[in-house]
């Protein structure tokens, strides 16, 4: 059995039984308990199930949506770090001299901010971590949107931020995402989604930053259609089936 098939089977068993022990999984799939533990850890990191002592529980209720608490920024920083650095570096190459750029909140966009070239730019953000990365940069006008502060993500959201951003002319917008499923981009917080939608609508070019774990995954709230984007920026080695499915709606840059 291939690793992908084995992990799909573990998710399916967990969804069917709601709770699955390491011992039961090893018996049902005829694999070692060590292999089960390793697979469950990887699947939990990808958000496909919830790891608990001795096994796992399902992350998906009957209608198939991922149901889990929103990860904190610190937790997200530990996930897919190499992929985020690669995506951030690639996205930064899309910025040109004189651009007005919106950078949304999230650890992948933070990686992009750290890689921005030394150009004359105007940068608008609702992210305190991104503001901290860029505040010492010369040759850059930096605008921090005001609003309701979300400690878990370091983002400022709400009507004040949305109203201010809607009046700005933005050349390029770069936002993160919790999931991409079929033709929709998803996130877990409605206020954050609303601001990202305003940013994308305000921009001439619209980019979504997503590592491979975000594809074929839904979250609580859809905030944008892929066919309204300029491109999705992802990592090298993206599975061909994922790339092909996404390219039905928009370009994929790696």
What are the residue boundaries of the structural domains of the chain, listed by start?
3-58, 73-253
Please give the pLDDT value at position 63: 46
Please give the pLDDT value at position 110: 96
Under CATH, what is the fold of the domain 73-253? Rossmann fold (3.40.50)
The CATH code for residues 3-58 is 1.10.10.10
Please give the pLDDT value at position 154: 92
Please give the pLDDT value at position 79: 67
The C-alpha atoms of residue 65 and residue 211 are separated, in whole angstroms, by: 19
219-254 pLDDT, tens digit each: 888 999 999 999 999 999 888 999 999 999 999 999
Please give the pLDDT value at position 235: 94
Cβ density class 48-64: b for 16+ within 10 Å, e for less: bbbbeeebbbbbbeeee
The C-alpha atoms of residue 67 and residue 192 are separated, in whole angstroms, by: 18
Mean pLDDT of the chain, nearest integer: 90
* CA nearest neighbour of 228 among 200, 253, 254, 199: 200
Strands of 221-225's sheet in order across: 179-181, 184-187, 221-225
Please give the pLDDT value at position 30: 82
Mean pLDDT, range 141-153, rounded to an integer: 93
Lowest mean pLDDT among 26-30, 38-42, 83-87, 147-151: 26-30
Mean pLDDT, range 28-35, rounded to an integer: 88
Please give the pLDDT value at position 17: 75
């Amino acid at each position: 059995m291939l690793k992908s098939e084995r992990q799909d089977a573990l998710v399916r068993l967990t969804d069917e039984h709601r709770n699955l022990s390491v011992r039961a999984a090893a018996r049902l799939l005829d694999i070692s308990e060590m292999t089960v533990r390793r697979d469950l850890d990887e699947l939990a990191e990808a958000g496909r199930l919830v790891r608990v002592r001795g096994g796992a529980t399902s992350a998906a209720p009957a209608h198939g949506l991922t149901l889990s608490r929103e990860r904190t920024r610190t937790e997200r920083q530990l996930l897919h770090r190499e992929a985020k650095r690669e995506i951030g570096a690639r996205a930064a190459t899309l910025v040109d001299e004189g651009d007005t750029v919106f950078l949304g909140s999230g650890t992948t966009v933070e990686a992009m901010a750290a890689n921005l070239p030394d150009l004359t730019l105007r940068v608008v953000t609702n992210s305190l971590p991104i503001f901290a990365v860029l505040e010492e940069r010369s040759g850059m006008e930096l605008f921090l949107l005001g609003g309701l502060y979300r400690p878990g993500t370091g983002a400022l959201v709400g009507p004040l931020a949305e109203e201010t951003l809607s009046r700005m002319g933005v050349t390029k917008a770069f936002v993160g995402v919790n999931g991409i499923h079929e033709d929709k981009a998803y996130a877990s917080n409605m206020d954050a989604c609303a601001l990202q939608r305003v940013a994308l609508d305000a921009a001439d070019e619209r980019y979504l930053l997503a590592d491979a774990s975000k594809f074929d995954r839904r979250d609580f709230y859809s905030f944008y259609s892929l066919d309204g984007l300029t491109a999705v920026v992802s990592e090298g080695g993206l599975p061909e089936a994922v790339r092909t499915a996404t390219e039905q709606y928009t370009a994929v840059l790696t």
